Amino acid sequence: MTPFTQQVIQILLDIPEGTVMTYGQIATIAGNHRGARQVVRILHSSSRTYDLPWHRVVNARGEIALKEDVARSEQASLLRGENVEVSDSGTIDLQQYLYSPK
Domain presence at residue 14: yes
Alpha-carbon span 72 to 76, nearest angstrom = 6
Does the structure show a pLDDT above 90 at 1? Answer: no
By C-alpha distance, which of 102, 75, 100 is closest to 24?
Answer: 100
> What's the structural domain count of the chain?
1
- Phi and psi at residue 96, in whole multiples of 5°? -95, -40
pLDDT in tens, 53-87: 999 999 999 999 988 889 899 999 999 999 999 99
| CATH number of the domain encompassing residue 85 | 1.10.10.10
Are 97 and 21 in contact by the 8 Å Cβ rule? The answer is: no
Residue 102 reports pLDDT greater than 90? no
Q: pTM higher than 0.75 for the full model?
A: yes
Q: What is the pLDDT of residues 9-61, one digit of tens each?
A: 999 999 999 999 999 999 999 999 999 999 999 999 999 999 999 999 999 99
Residue 102 inside a domain? The answer is no
- Cβ–Cβ under 8 Å, residues 23 and 40: yes
Asked whether residue 77 is assigned to any structural domain, the reply reads yes
| 62 in a structural domain | yes
In order, the DSSP letters of 86-101 are B-TTSBB-HHHHB---
Which phi and psi angles does 10 have, rounded to 5°? -65, -40
Domain that holds residue 41: 3-97
Q: Is residue 34 situated within a structural domain?
A: yes
